[in-house]
Amino acid sequence: MENKRKVSLSGIQPSGKITLGNYLGSIKNWVDIQDSDEYDNRYCVVDLHAITVRQDPDDLREQTYQLFAQLMAAGLDPDKCILFIQSHVQGHPELSWILSCFTMFGELSRMTQFKDKSQRHADNINAGLFTYPVLMAADILIYDADIIPVGEDQRQHVELARDIAIRFNNRFPGSFVVPEAYIPKEGAKIMSLQDPSRKMSKSDTNENSFILVMDPPEAIVKKMKRAVTDSDARVAASPDKPGVTNLMHIYAAATGKSFAEIEAEFEGKGYGVFKPAVADAVVELLRPLREKSLELLKDKAYLEDVMAKGAEKARAITDAKVRQIYDKLGFIARR
């Protein structure tokens, strides 16, 4: 019987650092989607995207190992999904060139992330920085992905992938599935511990702003102790108390408790009791992920074996797709 499940694809750059926000806002949702049996899932470490900014080769290699291990530790199961490294699947950059010939210059110039990254990396505004949304479109379209679980900041890139697919399909009908952005409703945003008006980010220059999956317990306790709150020591969710509300979101995610339950638990106790409780909850939430990641990193040969098997599964799909597109374009079939 034909498999009717839809295809889901997600990718993450290999910084080697997964924040608490990344885990709760994205990766935990990926695991939930994987375990739902509703989708065929592909998860990709997008190392080709990473080189739009200058990388130290040794650091990039080690960070890729670290990220791959953390994704597995978080629950991505190579027996339930296709988990692979982008540069191990040649079809991605191959299709990217084809799609770049169906992408308008004006479309790329309107990408807000290009404008943002150009300002932050003014000494290295390279062509890859400009065209990487086309590579992202290739990542998506080469698998005929139906849904792309992304944050709101990536919606524009999925829209571009849709536009490219529609344009190509108009010229060569039936070539690509037109994907949909899937924005998770729950747990999408954990804010900075130092500036709760901004999303928690590993690129923040202040390390006290974010918690990493690989942070040791003492670092988590220290960062939580320094988290911004307000002069009113009452533990209550309010737009006027963004710092405390952010900590309540974190505590709720780590414990499963509602805001009402949290407010009742800390009634009259103040931040001196609340912050350590949040820290302890986060430590216990992340402990198994950190310990499993460290265990996996001790055996890089095993990680490489998982990477190779994932890439082999991915290439079985992508090679066929590239051959199909080449045939439509009129290229002579290669032997």
Q: Which residues are catalytic?
A: 117, 199, 202
Tell me the three state secondary structure of residue 194. coil
CB 104 within 8 A of CB 332: no
Distances (CA, A) of 279 to 126, 215, 220, 224: 41, 12, 6, 6
* DSSP per-residue codes, 11-29: EE---S--BHHHIIIIIHH
Query: Which helix (H) or strand (E) is 313 found in, with range?
Result: helix 300-329
Closest by Cα among 144, 126, 197, 80 to 318: 144
- Please tell me the distance from the alpha carbon of residue 315 to that of residue 281, in angstroms, as a whole number: 41
| Coil, strand or helix at 10 | strand
Token pair 């806002």 is found at 25
Separation CA 87–CA 89 (nearest Å): 5
* 108 token code pair: 């790329």
* Burial environment of residue 47 by CB neighbours within 10 A (0 to 12, 13 to 18, 19 or more): buried
Residue 105 tokens read as 């210059």
CA pseudo-torsion sign 193, 194, 198, 204: negative
Whether 45 and 12 have beta carbons less than 8 Å apart is answered as: yes
* Nearest C-alpha neighbor of 151 from the set 187, 97, 104, 203: 187
Query: Environment class of residue 212 by beta-carbon count within 10 Å: exposed (0-12), middle (13-18) or buried (19+)?
Result: buried
